[in-house]
A and B are shown apart, each in its own frame.
Chain A
Amino acid sequence: MTAAPLRVVAVVGTLSAPSRTTALVELILATLAARTAVDTRLIELHTLGPAFTGATDRDQVDDEVADALRAVEEADLVIAATPVFRGSYTGLFKHFFDLVDQYGLAAKPVLLAATGGSDRHALVIEHAMRPLFGFLQAWTAPAGIYLNSGDFDGTTILNPEVYERIEMAVNDVVPVAGALAAVRAGNAAPVGPVHV
């Protein structure tokens, strides 16, 4: 029996197009696709519009936004990416995860990625993003991916180390995502208590 493709949903907290953060996420998705069978979906939050930004409660969103939130909750692997804005993730990014179900990401693999103007913001992944996903009890991948503006020419990623970092992060997270997806699909027994 072949395993179903991994359902990968990328959430990009960017405010603009073209976007370096989106370019980074597209590279991560391409690297994932080269590694294993995936169904991918890319959600750029600024395209969701007033039905998203105007909603203070899950009940107020329209069908498109509800679909995006559900996609994240049902994914086998989430890529969470944001530009650094005023020292942290963008407001759009936080707003989206404020609307996601409290336990919608629990024990779900999440790969963290961010872009910023300089390396002075590199710890945004550890100091802002990981605590948020820690609260959501997500299974964050050990290696986050951070790029500064010098790593790009426009939206082309020039720094070879970035490609390396992505390969490494993807190699770390794919087996975990695959194993957890198999457990959810009932194809593998969850790991229970070990009796010696």
Chain B
Amino acid sequence: MAFELGIYHFGELTPDPTTHQPPAPGTRLRELVEQARTADEAGLDIFAVGEHHRTDFAVSSPAVLLAAMAENTRTIKLSSAVTVLSSDDPVRVFQQFATLDLLSGGRAEIIAGRGSYIESFPVFGYDLNEYSELFAEKLDLLLKLREENPVTWRGSLRPPLMNADITPRPDRELPVWVAVGGTPASVVRAGRLGLPLSLAIIGGSYRQFAPFVDLYRKAGAEAGHAPEKLKVSVNSPGFVAATHQEAVKVSHPYFQAGWMANHHQRGQGVPMPKMAYEAQATPAGAFFLGSVQEVTDKIMAQYEVFGHDRMMIQLGFGNVPQREALKSIELLGAEVAPVVRKEIASLEASAARVTA
């Protein structure tokens, strides 16, 4: 698999820091469709949308939004980021993404996770005390649905399926990635199941995650999975612009607004000062933030540490204005992606020569 670059978005409705007005959900959703089209045209590999269940987010049903994107794009992969599998029904998730896969000509993917926000649990009637068990059991069912039809399955948290016919069937095995934040047990689970790992690094030093990726590969190898099955995606916020200064200047006020809305201490939003934001743009920091050259260098430096297969940027968090976001997407697709793909392909070729 060639190295992949993409974008993910949660459709947040953070009020604009200057006007204090939140964007209208419909406007935001149509903007995201336009972003996906731009990403497709710019040659990016994947566009993913997250799932939140509260007023300050526009996306609660990623598959519906992704279906609209499917009609407006040609080659880009369309994924959830993430599907909160713990509070959803795996049968419905499978059906929706199978539909998306058929509609899009085999471009659908699922990134499944336990969820870092918990609003969806009471909405769908799930008990947070079973947070971990819910995910384990539902992931088991989702994988079973992928493997066979009709399906017979029994668990303890969902009614059993007896010779159930789950349709439509996609023309291929639907990709299912496992999203993890910082829990070693989640990494080990993904490795044991031989599922690709989608790793969120949302701040600090990305190097701290190297042992995490090693643990994943070790758990996968011990369970007997081939190394090429054990794919890794690194996902971090960021913004690309013509210059470092422009990237920070344009995106910081919006990022800070989004951060304050979603990151609380003692019940209040805490600001992300500009110098804290800038620190993430330094070579060791986690964000894909800066000029084309800086972001290219960051991806290559991460590749040295992780040897990963995909990176995804949460681009313009907090609602950078659409025009600026589209410009950034174009730079990422047209200028960063070709260089990164070429560099990594040549590194892989020389590694293969050494091995041979």
Contact = CB atoms under 8 A, between A and B. Distances in A.
Interface of A: 27, 30-31, 34, 150-153, 156-164, 167-168
A160 B266 contact: no
B275 A163 contact: yes
Contacts of A153: 205, 282-285
Interface residues of B, number: 20
Contact of A167 (B270, B279, B283, B285): B270
Contacts of B270: 164, 167-168
A161 B284 CA distance: 16
Nearest to A157: B279
A30 B275 contact: yes
Nearest to A165: B265
Contacts of A161: 203-204
The 5 closest A-B pairs by CB, nearest first: A153-B284, A163-B276, A160-B203, A164-B270, A159-B204
Nearest to A154: B284
Interface of B: 203-205, 208, 263, 265-266, 270-273, 275-276, 279-280, 282-286
Contacts of A30: 275
Contacts of A162: 276
Q: Is the interface of A mostly helix, strand, loop or mixed?
A: helix
A117 to B, nearest CB: 14
Interface core residue of A31, A150, A159, A168 (most chain B CB under 10 Å): A159
A157 B76 CA distance: 37
Given A31-B273, A167-B271, A168-B270, A159 B203 contact: yes
A150 B208 contact: yes
Nearest to B273: A163
A64 to B, nearest CB: 31
Contact of A158 (B265, B272, B280): B280
Contact of B204 (A27, A151, A167): A151
A158 B284 contact: yes
A157 B205 CA distance: 9
A168 B265 contact: yes
A164 B263 contact: yes
Contact of A156 (B203, B272, B282): B282
B204 A158 contact: yes
Contacts of B263: 164
Nearest to B272: A160
A171 to B, nearest CB: 9
A158 B286 contact: yes
A158 B275 contact: no
Contacts of B208: 150
Given A150-B204, A161-B204, 9 more contacts: A34-B273, A153-B285, A158-B279, A158-B286, A160-B280, A161-B203, A164-B270, A164-B272, A167-B271
Nearest to B268: A168
B277 to A, nearest CB: 8
8 contacts: A31-B273, A150-B204, A150-B205, A153-B285, A156-B284, A160-B272, A160-B280, A167-B271
Given A153-B285, A158-B286, A167 B280 contact: no
B320 to A, nearest CB: 18
Interface core residue of B273, B282, B284 (most chain A CB under 10 Å): B273
B145 to A, nearest CB: 39
B70 to A, nearest CB: 35
A127 B208 CA distance: 27
Contact of A160 (B204, B282, B283, B284): B204
Given A150-B205, A158-B279, A158-B280, A163 B285 contact: no
Nearest to B203: A160
Contacts of A31: 273
A89 B276 CA distance: 27
Contacts of A159: 203-205
Nearest to B284: A153
Contacts of A156: 279, 282, 284-285
B266 A158 contact: no
Contacts of A163: 272-273, 275-276
Interface core residue of A34, A157, A160 (most chain B CB under 10 Å): A160
A153 B203 CA distance: 13
A156 B277 CA distance: 12
B212 to A, nearest CB: 13
Contacts of B203: 158-161
